[in-house]
Structure 1
Amino acid sequence: MTQSSSENPKEISGEAKTEPAITPERQQAENFSVSQLACAYGGPVGSGTLRSTAEDFFVEEQLSFDLTGEGEHLFLFIEKRGENTADVADMLAKIADVRQMNVSYAGLKDRHAVTRQWFSISLPGKPDPDFSALPDNIRILDKKRNNRKLRRGALRGNRFELRIRELDADIDALVARLEAIKSGGFPNYFGEQRFGRGYGNLSRAIPVLARGKTRRKSEGMNLSAVRSMLFNLLLSKRVELGRWCSHPLVGDVMQLGGSSSLFVAESIDAELERRLNGAEINLTGCLCGKAARVMPVADAADFEQQALADYTFWINGLQRCKVDADRRSLRTTANDLQWEFQDDMLVVSFSLPKGSYATALIRELIR
């Protein structure tokens, strides 16, 4: 926002604004950028523009379960343009005359996109509300009752269709890169949107980690950003070494493909490598916190400790905040990956499992 005067109100009142001290952790937060993470296939092969318009970035949720058609929870399949998920949930709560906590959604979706996602509203003993007051950029595509609310993460995945305009790239090289991603997957980085505008969620997490507990629900998002930063840094180091989808370390934690089942590779043999190369299993990295159900051992444990040795403030803070540790696959795959060229535009479509970011795929193609 542009101010009409250069005078600072706090300075006028004698309250000079104090800038936060430049501590090592604040410097780490300010220096972190997704753009600096290692690429798996040698870096982008050209340039282009994504999100010239909202229609250039289309995403549609895929639920992990079937709706029953009856029950106290009204499910709405909504298409929105230029709105974030939380704001739409607030609108639905007001129209339905329920508290915000009675409106649920499976995940957050971008504002600068056309997105189709599910919401549920708890309406025990109540009829379906009249949603005709919703603005034109929010459309209800389907609605159905269910006997349980929609919970966070209750998705099979998301389907994307992206348009990259002003494409400037060697087409043969770009096709080769797309083929490589189709067969080998790509690093499962968290995208920039995970960190808030200007990566501000990381800086906002510092006082929360220092005190060792959250006071507001929004602070949980800041802690999630911290875990995402640490995971991305660890994954980037493994990408640099060529150990993100093959060449495991003794003691690595493996995840069965398409499952949450984990096991520790206490030894490395040809069969394990074969299963990795065929994406039957994936290597995992730490989502830092306390008391993970499965932990790496031996060489893999040493590697993770050394890779994040400079980030003990963040790791210890997550543990003090009692954030549960977990594991995340280092590789993700784009199902049904297809593409076509239209003049100076690339249109690419694919499906990703829940929690994976389309922008992590695009960064392997263009800058």
Structure 2
Amino acid sequence: MNYPYLTTAFAGVGGTIKDNPEDFIVEEIPAYAPCGHGEHLYLRVEKKGMSTFAMMQRIATALGIREQEIGYAGLKDAQAISRQTISLPPVDKRKIAKLDIENITILDSNYHTNKLRLGHLHGNRFHIAIHEVVEDAEQRALDILNILEHTGVPNFFGSQRYGVLGSNHLVGKAIVGGEFSEAAQLIIGNPEKISNQRWQQAATAYCNGNIDEALATLPGRFRDERRLLHALLKGKDHRQAVLTLPRKLLRLYLSAYQSHLFDRQVQMRLDSIDILWPGDIAYIHNKGACFRVEDSEAEQPRADRLEISPSGMLPGHKVMYANGQTGIIEQALLEKEKLNDKSFNQLPGLKLSGERRPLRVPLKQTNCRQQHNTLHLSFALPTGSFATTVLNEVIKSTTASDKG
């Protein structure tokens, strides 16, 4: 999915990122600091070149605790240096001092009264190096950042939501629509989009109806795809086989479909993303709450200050729908996709209630400086928003990597 630019009138800086983890540093902005007492030990951790789950697994193994006992506020990209907080069950701090795990550094530790939960953070601060930029990159970036600071950053989920083949949302759509044969085909993969030779051979075999060959060829690390193929070989139908996959993965597919529908709403409102319409559901940024806009002119000054923003729907059986022109857009989108209030509420253990999400978010703490042909860029975004959109606006090319 190609995303339009809000700052189309401003030329980008070009260049590339992600040459190494040091090119992309992300720091969590905690929602609160540990109070110094309690049974949960909070660790401020720096990880390099690994996912959040891999980091937690290694710490759990080193301390002899269960990975499920570790709390975290958000997931961070593997190809980066990330500084984030996790919480541990009762652990002697002397054990922490003895930890020696490659590419993991414990920056600080303190006790608190509750386990850290997903979403317990205000946002993330990013420090990014963009290489091979144009000669006047700093001024170009400053102009673009100025627009984004005043207008807000389009709150696209971005392509990182849709998986390596860009098809996670299509899997979710197929599951919601009861098209489980199509879902299975998409999960195994489209051979035309696969570069890994063995995976491509396996996907081709599956397309040709040879499940045995597909299973024999598919690399061992594709555990979920192999699980699906095993289920089919045991005589299960496509619905049964798809539903044998981990609930966490299936929810990811459904969530990706929700995200795709939301991103389409952002695109449709991009030219007026900072303007409230009558009937909008406004999102209050410092509270995370929503309200229905009755008098858009009266509320617009708050939108101009980026205190509130128009929102879009992530469809589900409890979501609040807008009225007026926004409501017409939302209902037209649902009708086009043949969705209703019960569409994300049909499968046991996979019910998504839906929610409102702001169409734009504030951009804060911006800074940039150019050293020769490298641009060093810093900014902060609220939790749940991704750096990808800011990078795409600044770079104006397809080389901006998916980070959040």
How many pairs align? 326
1:227 deviation in Å? 1.6
Between stretches 93-102 and 329-338, larger displacement belongs to 93-102
* Candidates 357, 382, 387, aligned match of 1:328: 357
Q: Is the 8 A contact 1:237 1:307 kept in 2?
A: no
Q: Which has the higher strand share?
A: 1
Task: Report the TM-score when normalising by structure 2.
Answer: 0.75
Q: Which residue of 2 aligns with 1:226?
A: 257
Q: Indicate how the Cα distance of structure 1 residues 298 and 51 shifts in structure 2: closer, same or farther if over 3 A, else same.
A: same
Q: Is the 8 A contact 2:169 2:255 kept in 1?
A: no
User: Matches of 1:301 and 1:263 in 2, distance apart?
Assistant: 14
1:203 deviation in Å? 4.3
Q: Is the 8 A contact 2:131 2:374 kept in 1?
A: yes
Between stretches 214-223 and 203-212, larger displacement belongs to 203-212
Unaligned runs of 5+ in 1: 1-32
Q: Indicate how the Cα distance of structure 1 residues 352 and 337 shifts in structure 2: closer, same or farther if over 3 A, else same.
A: same
Q: Is the 8 A contact 1:47 1:168 kept in 2?
A: yes
User: Matches of 2:259 and 2:145 in 1, distance apart?
Assistant: 26
Q: Secondary structure at the match of 2:301?
A: helix
Alignment of 1:174-253 (within 5 A): 174-206=141-173, 208-209=175-176, 210=178, 216-239=247-270, 242-246=271-275, 248-253=276-281
Q: Which residue of 2 aligns with 1:341?
A: 370
1:108 deviation in Å? 0.7
* Candidates 137, 142, 145, aligned match of 2:108: 142
Q: Deviation string for 1:260-303 (max 9, x for gaps)?
A: 1211112332x3222222212111111111112x3312322111
Q: Deviation string for 1:286-331 (max 9, x for gaps)?
A: 1111112x33123221111224543235986423242011111111
Q: Which residue of 1 aligns with 2:92?
A: 127
User: Matches of 2:384 and 2:340 in 1, distance apart?
Assistant: 22
Kindly, what percent of the aligned residue pairs are identical? 30
- 1:102 equivalent in alignment to 2:73: no
* Candidates 63, 79, 86, aligned match of 2:30: 63
- 1:262 maps to amino acid: C
Q: Deviation string for 1:222-278 (max 9, x for gaps)?
A: 222222111111111111xx12111x3221000123221211112332x32222222
Q: Which residue of 1 aligns with 2:393?
A: 364
Unaligned runs of 5+ in 2: 179-238, 398-404
Q: Secondary structure at the match of 1:159?
A: strand
1:56 deviation in Å? 0.8
1:169 deviation in Å? 6.4
- 2:371 maps to amino acid: Q
1:179 deviation in Å? 1.7
Task: Report the TM-score when normalising by structure 1.
Answer: 0.82
* Candidates 152, 157, 167, aligned match of 2:123: 157
Q: Is the 8 A contact 1:82 1:113 kept in 2?
A: yes
User: Matches of 2:162 and 2:5 in 1, distance apart?
Assistant: 19
- 1:259 equivalent in alignment to 2:287: yes
1:154 deviation in Å? 0.3
User: Matches of 1:176 and 1:86 in 2, distance apart?
Assistant: 37
Q: Indicate how the Cα distance of structure 1 residues 224 and 130 shifts in structure 2: closer, same or farther if over 3 A, else same.
A: same
Q: Which residue of 2 aligns with 1:305?
A: 331
Q: Which has the higher helix share?
A: 2
Q: Is the 8 A contact 1:89 1:104 kept in 2?
A: no
Q: Deviation string for 1:166-188 (max 9, x for gaps)?
A: 11365444432222122222201
- 1:228 maps to amino acid: S
Q: Is the 8 A contact 1:276 1:282 kept in 2?
A: yes
Q: Indicate how the Cα distance of structure 1 residues 314 and 190 shifts in structure 2: closer, same or farther if over 3 A, else same.
A: farther
1:85 deviation in Å? 0.5
User: Matches of 1:136 and 1:100 in 2, distance apart?
Assistant: 18
User: Matches of 2:135 and 2:334 in 1, distance apart?
Assistant: 36
Between stretches 55-64 and 38-47, larger displacement belongs to 38-47
Q: Which residue of 2 aligns with 1:281?
A: 308
- 1:47 equivalent in alignment to 2:14: yes
Q: Secondary structure at the match of 2:95?
A: coil
Q: Secondary structure at the match of 2:394?
A: coil
